């Protein structure tokens, strides 16, 4: 078992007892997350360590790293001095934006095991270009079923507390599809050796996320795991969960995100009455 000093405080912070590590059954593994849930990150790390302890040597693909920084990551790996996890983070995510206490242990484990570290995200700038120009100009597949875009749009409106209109949500949905398609390409590129993707639950959904864009033979060797907070699974009612497997953790204590958005975004005026 790899010795990761960052794991202890993460586990200590979790009040709930440790669940048994999730044991993957396929070589292409998509591990979802609620980004700020400490227990979920700790559980996924234990699963990743268990996978490495069994002798697997998959590539580690991360939503937290944007694709234009892959060259900088590879250059560090090719240097004469083995890089630290923090050096990889500085090279692969110079803009920050993530809680790296959660992700540093995965990078450290990958470095210790000699695994490829793969940037699996489309940058914000490329996402903005997709919103302006569409998918095709940036090399993505524009043939997206209407129901996929509609579901993405609904999720975007909900996650933004109803503070984006349908037109904006539609453009943002295309950017989400671009990210999913690129993640699928990364998974296909590394499927032969095995690959573990760390990404938000939306990206690992089997109905509208990255799995939808995998080639059939790779999809058959993949497993998408949603890490949900208690209550999320019941809010979807009796509908089948859009994952191959689901893990449930207690919710992470956090302030109401909608309250913060209301302070930043003025409420849209009510539409004028029509006859």
Give 129-182 pLDDT, tens digit per residue.
999 999 999 999 999 999 999 999 999 988 888 788 889 999 999 999 999 999
What are the angstrom distances between the C-alpha of 96 and each of 64, 180, 190?
9, 21, 26
Give the per-residue pLDDT at 260. Answer: 62
Over residues 86-97, the pLDDT tens digits come to 999 999 999 888
Determine how many CB atoms are found less than 10 A away from the CB of residue 228. Answer: 23
Over residues 166-175, the pLDDT tens digits come to 899 999 999 9
**Architecture label for domain 24-264:** 3-Layer(aba) Sandwich (3.40)
First-to-last C-alpha distance (Å) of the chain: 70
Per-residue pLDDT at 7 exceeds 50: no
Give the sign of the dihedral formed by CA 88, CA 91, CA 92, CA 98. Answer: positive
Per-residue pLDDT at 5 exceeds 70: no
Least confident of 25-39, 187-201, 243-257: 243-257
Q: Is residue 82 helix, strand or coil? A: coil
Give the per-residue pLDDT at 160. Answer: 83
Q: How many residues does the chain have?
A: 275
* In the chain, domain spans: 24-264
Among candidates 204, 269, 222, 180, which has minimal Cα distance to 40? 204
CA distance 160 to 155: 8
């Amino acid at each position: 078992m790899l010795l990761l000093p960052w794991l202890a405080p993460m586990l200590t912070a979790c009040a709930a007892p440790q669940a048994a590590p999730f044991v993957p059954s396929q070589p292409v593994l998509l591990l979802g997350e609620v980004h700020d849930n400490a227990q979920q990150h700790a559980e996924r790390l234990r699963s990743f360590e268990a996978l490495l302890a069994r002798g697997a040597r998959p590539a580690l693909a991360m939503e937290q790293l944007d694709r234009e920084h892959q060259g900088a990551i590879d250059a560090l790996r090719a240097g004469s001095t083995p890089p630290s996890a923090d050096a990889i983070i500085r090279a692969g995510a110079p803009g920050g934006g993530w809680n790296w206490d959660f992700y540093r242990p995965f990078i450290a484990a990958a470095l210790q095991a000699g695994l490829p570290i793969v940037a699996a995200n489309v940058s914000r700038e490329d996402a903005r270009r997709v919103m302006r120009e569409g998918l095709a100009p940036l090399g993505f597949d524009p043939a997206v079923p209407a129901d996929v875009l509609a579901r993405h749009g609904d999720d975007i409106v909900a996650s933004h507390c109803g503070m984006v209109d349908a037109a904006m949500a539609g453009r943002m949905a295309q950017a989400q599809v671009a990210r999913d398609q690129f993640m699928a390409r990364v998974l296909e590129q590394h499927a032969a050796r095995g690959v573990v993707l760390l990404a938000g639950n939306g990206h690992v959904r089997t109905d509208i996320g990255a799995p939808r864009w995998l080639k059939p033979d790779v999809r058959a060797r993949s497993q998408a795991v949603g890490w949900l907070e208690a209550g999320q699974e019941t809010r979807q009612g009796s509908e089948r969960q859009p994952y191959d497997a689901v893990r449930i953790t207690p919710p992470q204590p956090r302030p109401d995100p909608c309250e913060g958005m209301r302070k930043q975004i003025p409420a849209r005026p009510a539409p004028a009455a029509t006859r």
